[in-house]
Structure 1
């Protein structure tokens, strides 16, 4: 009986966590600020995706937006974060009085009653999604850490950005047709159209646009298989655009390219989606993180091939 009460008591907390995150994102959007497009020119930290200083794993999904906002608002000089316990395990500690950032871990569980019903009905049991919150601190908020963790991250050499971006685009082998005056992806024929680079006021915007459309491209049934059947103006269409926007931002950040707004005219649609479903932003950020990882894996595969060729 006690365990049942404990489970019941924890349910509102899970719901509140989704709502807390959604309310924060909505507030930023209402101010005209897109959480995946930060004012990096005012940032103290180098542009990159946030990483765990202990495991070296990149944070993903909604945690990228949470930690990017913290980096800008609180002036952190690095993109590295860790838990209180991880700081101790590395021989350091979080300084007294420091306030951490709440990030989340998404998981699913199957209630015992559902397991029993599924067994009786000879079917696969259903699962319930939930978020678990935990606190992380910037390495700026710690002391006594190994020197390589506490030093600021060196900024990316901007002279290498375009070649690296072009190499990634080529590595995908996507059918990209450089023609016309509009950029779009056609799911039924699996090709991308992008205007010529000189059609863009700033050449780097060609690459940002390419990554946006490649974000859509990852959703093809032969890749990550997302729902791309929504018509223009529908909630389904808006959710896919939201995913592609964040995918482009995450890939750009990983390459040292400052993300920008590609489709600000969808702002009203995104606000409506988030107000209707307080889990929408978490789902979209998760899908975008998977799409960005899918694209960035092409660059890693190409680097591995080059290393093997040199070794031979």
Structure 2
């Protein structure tokens, strides 16, 4: 019975949390904003995958949308986040009055009682899903952190992108993510990744690469079963 109550409580909490996130995304869509598409003008920092400033682990799942949205709405200049306690452990602190973002951690665990019962019954132990909420803060909201953590990630240098090319790229409606060290198109998730313009010896090469990957994007829409991104 206790196991059933734990599962039910976890399911209700997970549903409530996911519903809140879904409602927020719907509001953004109704306002004409697409939170998971690279908004070149509105973000103060390049939208690299959010990362925990203390553990260096990248956030995943719904947490990416939550933190990207926060970066855009609140103008954070970095993709690094950490908890209140982690800020203290690093010798800094969250500034008084700062409002954090709720992220989630979902996993499963096996109670000791279930382990013992399964051992007696010679079967695999069952597991119970759980969901934890954490409040995280941008390193922009902290003070006293080590210099390498507090230094903001430089925004994309838009002066290296020709206005005419920029306009054409926008007109395609493609999801282009200017991050990482490789350029490719992912048909299954319908997005393009391309390194930042300053990573190219000549700006023209960034444009060539961007339009090459846009060609894959366009071809997939015309021939969805016969194109491989590269």
Instruction: Sort the TM-score into its range (normalised by shorter chain).
Output: 0.5 to 0.7
Contact preservation (8 Å) 1:45, 1:153: yes
Poorly superposed stretches of 4+, deviation over 6 Å: 1-8, 157-214, 253-259, 309-312
Q: Could you tell me the TM-score, scaled by structure 1's length?
A: 0.46
Higher-helix-fraction structure: 1
Contact preservation (8 Å) 1:183, 1:209: yes
Q: Which runs of 5+ in 1 are unaligned?
A: 221-252, 260-308
Q: CA 1:255/1:12 → structure 2, altered by over 3 Å: closer, same or farther? A: same
Contact preservation (8 Å) 1:49, 1:254: no
| Distance in 1 (alpha carbons) for counterparts of 2:176 and 2:160 | 22
Of stretches 126-135 and 114-123 in structure 1, the one that deviates more from structure 2 is 114-123
| Distance in 1 (alpha carbons) for counterparts of 2:159 and 2:223 | 14
Deviation (angstroms), 1:49:
1.3
| Distance in 2 (alpha carbons) for counterparts of 1:26 and 1:32 | 10
Q: Could you tell me the TM-score, scaled by structure 2's length?
A: 0.60
- SS of residue matched to 2:27: helix
The Cα offsets for residues 162-202 of structure 1, whole Å up to 9 and x where unpaired, read as: 99999999999999999999999999999999999999999
Contact preservation (8 Å) 1:184, 1:193: yes
- SS of residue matched to 2:168: helix
Contact preservation (8 Å) 2:156, 2:197: no
The Cα offsets for residues 17-49 of structure 1, whole Å up to 9 and x where unpaired, read as: 222223223333444433211423121112311
Corresponding residue pairs, total: 227
Deviation (angstroms), 1:62:
1.1
| Distance in 2 (alpha carbons) for counterparts of 1:87 and 1:257 | 49
Deviation (angstroms), 1:3:
10
Of stretches 86-95 and 152-161 in structure 1, the one that deviates more from structure 2 is 152-161
Higher-strand-fraction structure: 2
Deviation (angstroms), 1:6:
7.9
Contact preservation (8 Å) 2:77, 2:155: no
Deviation (angstroms), 1:212:
14
The Cα offsets for residues 146-172 of structure 1, whole Å up to 9 and x where unpaired, read as: 112111112457899999999999999
